[in-house]
Amino acid sequence: MEQFIKKKIIQVKKGDQSAFSDVVAFYQDKIYQHCYRMLGNRHEAEDMAQEAFIRAFVNIDSFDENRKFSTWLYRIATNLTIDRMRKRKPDYHLDAEIKGTEGLDMYSQLASTERLPGEEVESRDLQRYIHHEISQLPSKYRSIIMLRYLEEFSLKEISEILDVPLGTVKTRIHRGREALRKRLRHV
């Protein structure tokens, strides 16, 4: 896969815009998911994920083909989401937790449109719950936990993506794991 992406990137660099659609198609789910987990809002996640791909395209000449493309792409996406969180206006989202409740957001106030039988509901609810617990972590821990366990990057790659020293990555992943351990202990 790495080779396939590498080939496509070289084509894009040569000016073949259409080759970029294969790159987007390959990474769209990962990047969208990453943005969603960082921002916790579908609409913003889509905007930022799109923006990340557009920036990657515009700056493709500055990408060194000998490095891993995914690391570079995640770095763009992560910086965009962090920027977005800083600028964020305090407005209301369905995903935002309702004050004074524990783990209740506006989605839980909406009537569920689909009813799945027994176990499936349970496992989906659990997945959602885990997602929610991750989203409650401070973003500096959240990003690292996500990159490590959901995107399967090595600690060294994470330090490159976030532009943070390896030692800091280690400290944060320890704290992130401890925080989640406490949150998920009773599951």
Residue 3 beta carbon to another protein: minimum distance, rounded to whole angstroms: 21
Q: Which among 23, 44, 33, 69 has a CA at the least distance from the CA of 146?
A: 33
Residue 102 beta carbon to another protein: minimum distance, rounded to whole angstroms: 18
CB atoms within 10 A of CB 9: 19
Q: Which among 173, 162, 166 has a CA at the least distance from the CA of 34?
A: 162
Which residues in this chain contact another protein in the complex, by CB under 8 A? 15, 17-18, 20-21, 24-25, 28-29, 31-33, 36, 42, 46, 49-50, 53-54, 57-58, 61, 124, 126-128, 130-131, 134, 145, 149-150, 155, 170, 173-174, 177-178, 180-181, 184-185, 187
Task: Please state, in angstroms and as integers, the Cα–Cα distance from residue 179 to each residue in 106, 125, 135, 141, 183, following that order.
Answer: 24, 21, 12, 9, 6
Residue closer to another protein (CB basis): 99 or 115 = 115
Residue 174 beta carbon to another protein: minimum distance, rounded to whole angstroms: 4
Residue 36 beta carbon to another protein: minimum distance, rounded to whole angstroms: 6
Q: Name the token pair of 58.
A: 């515009």
